[in-house]
Amino acid sequence: MRLEAAARMDLIKKLWRARKLILVVLIPLSLLPLPLIHPTSEACCAYVLIVTAVYWVSEAVPLGAAALVPAFLYPLFGVLKSSEVAAEYCKDTTLLLMGVICLAASIEKWNLHKRIALRMVMIAGAKPGMLVLGFMCCTVFLSMWLSNTSTTAMVMPIAEAVLQQLISTGVADTQEDSETVEATEDDCLSDKEENLDKNQLELYRRDSCVKQELCTLTELPTVETNGTGRKASKASLGQMSLKQTNGHLPSTAISIPEPKKEKESKDSRYPTKRDHMICKCLSLSITYAATIGGLITITGTSTNLIFAEQFNNRYPDAKVINFGTWFIFSFPIAIIMLLLTWVWLHFLFLGCNFRETCSLSKKRKTRREMLSERKIHDEYIKLGPISYPEVVTGVFFILMTLLWFTREPGFVPGWTSLFEKKGYRTDATVSVLLGFLLFLIPARRPFSRAPRTTAGDGSAERDPDPLAPMITWKDFQNLMPWEIVILVGGGYALAAGCKVSGLSVWIGRQLEPMSGLPPWMVTLLACLLVSAVTEFASNPATLTVFLPILSALSETLQINPLHTLIPATMCVSFGVMLPVGNPPNAIVFSYGHVQISDMVKAGFGVNLIGVLVVMLAIMTWGVPLFNLTEFPEWAIDRNVTGSL
């Protein structure tokens, strides 16, 4: 019996190790009757869509590899030609992403991101509440332009250095956690000591000291008071013995229980529980801030790019989604979410005493807070004065932002109106142009002397490449997320197949029973469904699957498609409850300060805040911005064409 049980367990272990391979083989075979029994374009397209979606959600194969499934299954089933599928894998947003990555490579290469982060934290100060808010603000700002993953991977080492300084200071002197820089308390204490007699002074000191061990009246001749390190002199204590009394205490030694001090276990690396809470709060705040910052710009996260491209492909006459309109809609959302998330994390880990943790007064700073500020200042000093490449990168950063905003602002004519032909220039044109220039502009100031390097024989020789550019192709290649590019292309291919085969129209007809629901209810259900699924599946894969369904649903219910698509796009980024929800969560979790229970508890609140704020935005300032009260003509034309 034992051998049989062992054999069964061994078989189960082997099957578990091979579960992904089994899933890759069984899913296509089990669904194969669908296109064989119903050999229609809709059934064939549904087969490809389901297989790809299962591969994405289960991650049985890499996301980029799963995105290639439509490239060979659509031609095999006769849904799309191979040349038509291939054209879907490189779109305008791919060029937009490439230009942004060029700028991001220059920012990271010349440490401009580190200078920005340290400067913002220096402004915020080292009080726990303000420190968390400072890190969140700089993370949000960087995540607007860099990927969420890159931002988190860059900011976390800086935060970890500050936290380690906090921990090391606490280990050295845990008693000074509540002391302020003011010396008034020490003065008052010395006055009291002078007015007390020797025996009363001994009791006063023993009653007020904070230690882990029990204090007894027999510990002589030296006594520490209040953790200050001062020792009572032998002259004041030499006359005392075990048999002496003060008229109230017995002559036997007694133990006085000490006040309990909130402290971590001996095996913990944190001096106190409060230090551990600060580490948790700061770590989680960075991943949440990276997610919030990614919402602000079209290029902030891959899901925004997926939405923009699929929307423009499905509704080419819309002309309502660009960098400016998206920023105007999403920036207030990010500000409100940032403040509410900070308050939620502060309440959860630091308590409700905002006056103590957020005070900017220098007189109320503790010793460890002063050391933390010094650590941050030292890191900033190590960067040295701002360099020429940092200035060039900053100029390109500002220039790219201004050109994006002023291309087609909507309320005034943009710079594209200067050209005779309309519709040829997009945000990708700007980003690729400036990204290309970064490969040409030298990283050294013009007409400046090249620094000399000492050769092995002692002679001085000039830098071998005085015209080295701001970035090289290797710098660009190290940051370019090719897997995301292919993943986005796979989503475009799936959307094109659904459109050509008529599957999207069929899905819309099946959703007609929901026509009795008000628009806000449909949007809320979509947000809750998407935010729940994205906790276990990747964000791009989840959005790629849901966008065609929600588009068809909106057309069927005669709702402006933006009313459901924009909130769903934003809510798909709220996979913040588990380490597998998104890469920033995994990066923060790897530092070891937080547990899964902490992420679930804090992430649930952030998820709820996000859904509520997005719903508030789409029901208020989103209505006049996108004209959500009417079913637009560009959606009517698409609906009529699709039904034909």
3-state secondary structure 300-368: CCHHHHHHHHHHHHHCCCCCCCCHHHHHHHHHHHHHHHHHHHHHHHHHHHHCCCHHHHCCCCHHHCCHH
Beta bridge partners of 462: 452
Q: Is the pLDDT of residue 613 over 90?
A: yes
Q: Tell me the three state secondary structure of residue 454.
A: strand
Residue bearing the bigger pLDDT, 571 or 123:
571
Q: Which of 82-86, 108-112, 225-229, 582-586 has the lowest mean pLDDT?
A: 225-229
Average of pLDDT values for 161-167?
Answer: 70
* Rounded CA separation 441/209 (Å): 65
Q: For position 186, what pLDDT does the model report?
A: 46
Is 369 a domain residue? yes
Q: For position 257, what pLDDT does the model report?
A: 44
- According to DSSP H, which parts of 442-538 are helical? 473-479, 482-501, 503-510, 519-533
Tell me how many domains the chain contains.
1
What phi, psi does 613 have (nearest 5°)? Answer: -70, -40
- CA dihedral of residues 44, 502, 483, 334 (deg, nearest 10): -140
> What is the enclosing helix (H) or strand (E) of 452?
strand 452-454
pLDDT band at 332 (very low <50, low <70, confident <90, very high): very high
Is 549 a domain residue? yes
* Rounded CA separation 590/643 (Å): 50
What lies within 8 Å, CB to CB, of 443 at 6+ separation is 110, 388, 389, 392, 468, 469, 470
Tokens 């609140």 identify what position? 605
Q: Determine the structural domain holding residue 546 and report its residue range.
A: 90-168+269-444+466-633
Q: For position 366, what pLDDT does the model report?
A: 67
Is 68 a domain residue? no
Is 548 a domain residue? yes
Average of pLDDT values for 411-430?
Answer: 78
Q: Is the pLDDT of residue 624 over 80?
A: yes
The answer to whether the beta carbons of residues 47 and 34 sit under 8 Å apart is: yes
Q: For position 341, what pLDDT does the model report?
A: 93
* Rounded CA separation 116/397 (Å): 13
Q: Tell me the three state secondary structure of residue 224.
A: strand
Q: What is the pLDDT of residues 510-563, one digit of tens each?
A: 766 776 788 888 899 889 888 887 776 677 777 877 888 888 888 888 888 899
Q: Is the pLDDT of residue 505 over 90?
A: no
Round the average pLDDT of the chain to a whole number and report it. Answer: 75
* Rounded CA separation 310/301 (Å): 15
Is 153 a domain residue? yes
Q: For position 182, what pLDDT does the model report?
A: 44
What phi, psi does 255 have (nearest 5°)? Answer: -105, 135
Residue bearing the bigger pLDDT, 191 or 292:
292
Give the E-state strand segments of 242-304 in sequence order.
Answer: 255-256
Q: Is the pLDDT of residue 46 over 80?
A: yes
Q: Which of 28-32, 51-55, 206-210 has the lowest mean pLDDT?
A: 206-210
Q: Which of 118-127, 142-151, 283-292, 423-432 has the lowest mean pLDDT?
A: 118-127
What lies within 8 Å, CB to CB, of 360 at 6+ separation is 125, 127, 130
Peptide bond into 221 cis (omega under 30): yes
Q: How many CB atoms lie within 10 A of CB 251?
A: 9
Is 317 a domain residue? yes
pLDDT band at 368 (very low <50, low <70, confident <90, very high): low
Top-confidence range, 147-151, 327-331, 396-400, 516-520: 327-331
Is 245 a domain residue? no
Report CA torsion sign: 588, 590, 594, 596.
Answer: positive
* Rounded CA separation 309/92 (Å): 8
Q: Is the pLDDT of residue 601 over 80?
A: yes
Is 409 a domain residue? yes
Q: For position 336, what pLDDT does the model report?
A: 95
| Nearest partner of 215 among 248, 244, 257, judged by Cα | 257
* Rounded CA separation 11/21 (Å): 15
| Nearest partner of 303 among 74, 138, 149, judged by Cα | 149
What lies within 8 Å, CB to CB, of 567 at 6+ separation is 523, 526, 527, 614, 615, 618
Q: Is the pLDDT of residue 73 over 50?
A: yes
